[in-house]
Chain A
Amino acid sequence: MRSDDREYVAAVINFFWQGLAQPHSVNENSAKVMYEALTEAQSCTASIDLVPRPTYTPSLNYIIKEIAKIGQRIMSGDTSIYNMCRDQVAANYKTHIRTALWGL
């Protein structure tokens, strides 16, 4: 994973769980878990607020590019699409992201 991608993936993780990830601790499995969590957050918000659902192809390269784009948006303060369901999604994925960050 490129170093700027790592930074964006860490930003996405820290959006859900403040201070949980550093760019150097991010790995491919944590990106996969975050992709799943973000997809759930987006569809949850869509079900409540009618935001269009995302379409995706879950190859690893695609996942990392998408997470990086979302990380850039989050770092610039654009988080509205995820706020509605953030807490509940964070509760659903915390153990899984922590497990992934440990490489387990």
Chain B
Amino acid sequence: MNKLFVLALMSILPLSLSASGSDLRIVYGELDFYIPNSPNVVGYLGTDSEILIAKYSDEPGKDIVGFSLDKEVNTGGCSPVVFFKSVLSKKESECDAKAIESFRYVFMKNRDSGIWSSGNKEFFYFIGSDKSTVFFIEEGTDNKTYKIESNFLSKEGIKGIFSSYL
């Protein structure tokens, strides 16, 4: 009986441990994200962007995952969705050319970029070796734009943040 119980437990635990042992669930806004477990610090840093960070190193500025609302990107007179699709496309755009060009310089130079899509959700990713950013526009919220950043996670690690949706 005891052996049966142990075997039954072993068949359940690896799954539940890997699910709860490798990721930490973050609820930000009305969205679910998953980040690596055991950050050294989780801090709400405020501002109009509602910045929340998880930090995995004691060294200043290192190993951060950040969640915020973007208030800065100049979308060149377009809605954020149209703007992000324009920067990723080679087609001519109705958005201001300098806004597109400067965005490409800052967020796309030496970065891998594209869209992760699932259902009606689109995540615009810009992945670099030392800085990565993902933008997500929540539907029906007057273009509320979420910005998720990391300066240490790999592309796979960053995609994992959105595992609830992708």
List residues of A whose CB falls within 8 A of some B CB.
Answer: 17, 20, 29, 32-33, 40, 43-44, 47-48, 84-85, 87-92, 94-96, 98-100, 102-104
Q: Does B127 contact A (CB under 8 A)?
A: no
Flag if A94 contacts B51 (CB, 8 Å).
Answer: yes
B32 CB-CB contact with A under 8 Å: no
The complex places the Cα of A40 from the Cα of B151 at a distance, in Å, of: 16
Q: Are A88 and B53 CB-contacts (below 8 A) given A48-B101, A48-B105, A100-B60?
A: no
In contact, B105 and A92 (Cβ under 8 angstroms):
no
Contacts of B147 in A (CB 8 A): 91, 95
- B43 touches A (CB below 8 Å): yes
A84 and B72 form a contact (CB under 8 A): no
Is B74 a contact of A87 with CB atoms below 8 Å? yes
Rounded to whole Å, the gap between the CB of B116 and the closest CB of chain A is: 19
Name the A residues within 8 Å of B134 (CB-CB): none
Question: Contact at B102–A85, with CB atoms within 8 Å?
Answer: yes
**Shortest distance in angstroms between A93's beta carbon and chain B's nearest beta carbon?**
9
A94/B107 in contact, CB under 8 A: no
